[in-house]
């Protein structure tokens, strides 16, 4: 889900190249068709907007056309950043897409595995931005923290009910994709191809949560240790 650009498209291309049967979904029909052209007999497409109430039905229709799935990978999300004025409309859209849309689709995927009895993998890309609140990205950091918490809750629920479902939270650092403002250089920015390779590997083999990038693993571990009364006095320059 979210295969038409950025990390989602890159990971979809790797799965296709490795011979998988792949369902690609997103809003851009032309991008979906170009992915299908890579392997017409193994790539199924679905023009799905995660903000639409019909999205769960459309996703399940895609799954049915594929004959079922073993992995659901959620890559859909947006980043709206204005560190000066913080437009409320952008903040609301970010929250609706990254939290409400996320819940709609990840919840649908979870129910699919629950009702079908298939033992599979439910994987989603959150972000290192969700570790703590970010003054320049209030709704984005909050929505990514929500995503990670939802995945943790579903992991707990899956174990309680004995589903045998692996639920994986992938947290990349800042990655040079169309999601980022092209006019900015972000903190510890990483190359997209390197991150795509790591996301692909984590999708297949990770057990719970993965932070991508050694520097980000160290930085986020330290970030968690900072007391709230100190953290709220920090001013983090996320880009320049």
Considering all CA atoms of the chain, what is the largest pairwise distance in Å, rounded to the nearest integer?
Answer: 57
Find residue 220's DSSP bridge partners. Answer: none
DSSP 3-state of 45? strand
Q: What's the whole-number mean pLDDT along residues 55-82?
A: 94
Q: What's the whole-number mean pLDDT along residues 212-237?
A: 94
Where does residue 167 fall: left (phi above 0), alpha (psi -120 to 50 degrees), or beta otherwise?
beta
Q: What's the whole-number mean pLDDT along residues 224-233?
A: 96
pLDDT for residue 84? 65
What would the pLDDT profile of 100-156 be if each residue is shown by its tens digit?
999 999 999 999 999 999 999 999 999 999 999 999 899 999 999 999 999 999 999
More confident residue, 91 or 187: 91
Strands of 71-74's sheet in order across: 71-74, 121-125, 166-172, 209-212
pLDDT for residue 183? 80
Residue 195 exposed, middle or buried by CB count within 10 Å (0-12, 13-18, 19+): buried
Q: Which domains does the chain have, with CATH numbers?
A: 70-231 (3.40.50.720)
Percent above pLDDT 90 for the chain: 87
Residue 186 pLDDT grade (very low, low, confident, very high; cuts 50, 70, 90): confident
pLDDT for residue 8? 97
State the average pLDDT for the chain. Answer: 95
Residue 82 pLDDT grade (very low, low, confident, very high; cuts 50, 70, 90): low
Provide the whole-model pTM: 0.94
Beta strands (DSSP E) in the chain are 22-26, 43-47, 71-74, 121-125, 166-172, 209-212
What would the pLDDT profile of 25-38 be if each residue is shown by its tens digit?
999 999 999 999 99
What would the pLDDT profile of 46-67 be if each residue is shown by its tens digit?
999 999 999 999 999 999 999 9
Q: Measure the CA–CA gap between 202 and 199, rounded to whole angstroms.
A: 5
- Judge whether residue 178 has pLDDT over 90: no
Q: What's the whole-number mean pLDDT along residues 213-221?
A: 94
Find residue 44's DSSP bridge partners. Answer: 23
Sign of CA dihedral 83, 6, 102, 189: negative
Give the tokens for residue 206: 């990770």
């Amino acid at each position: 889900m979210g295969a038409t650009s950025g990390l989602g498209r890159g990971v979809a291309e790797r799965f296709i190249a490795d011979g998988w049967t792949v369902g690609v979904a997103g809003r851009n029909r032309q991008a979906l068709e170009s992915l299908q052209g890579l392997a017409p007999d193994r790539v199924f497409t679905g023009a799905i907007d995660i903000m639409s109430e019909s999205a769960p039905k459309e996703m399940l229709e895609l799954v049915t056309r594929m004959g079922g799935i073993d992995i659901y990978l959620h890559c859909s999300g947006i980043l709206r950043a204005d560190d000066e004025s913080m437009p409320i409309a952008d903040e609301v859209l970010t929250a609706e897409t990254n939290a409400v849309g996320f819940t709609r689709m990840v919840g649908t995927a979870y129910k699919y595995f629950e009702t079908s009895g298939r033992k599979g993998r439910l994987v989603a890309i959150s972000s290192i931005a969700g570790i703590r609140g970010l003054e320049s990205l209030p709704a984005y950091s909050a929505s990514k923290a929500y995503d990670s918490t939802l995945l943790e809750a579903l992991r707990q629920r899956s174990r309680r009910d004995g589903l045998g479902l692996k639920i994986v939270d992938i947290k990349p650092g800042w990655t040079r994709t169309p999601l980022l403002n092209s006019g900015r250089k972000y903190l510890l920015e990483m190359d997209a191809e390197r991150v795509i390779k790591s996301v692909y590997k984590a999708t297949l083999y990770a057990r719970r949560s993965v932070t991508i990038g050694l520097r980000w693993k160290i930085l986020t571990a330290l970030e968690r240790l900072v007391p709230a009364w100190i953290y709220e006095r920090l001013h983090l320059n996320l880009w320049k």
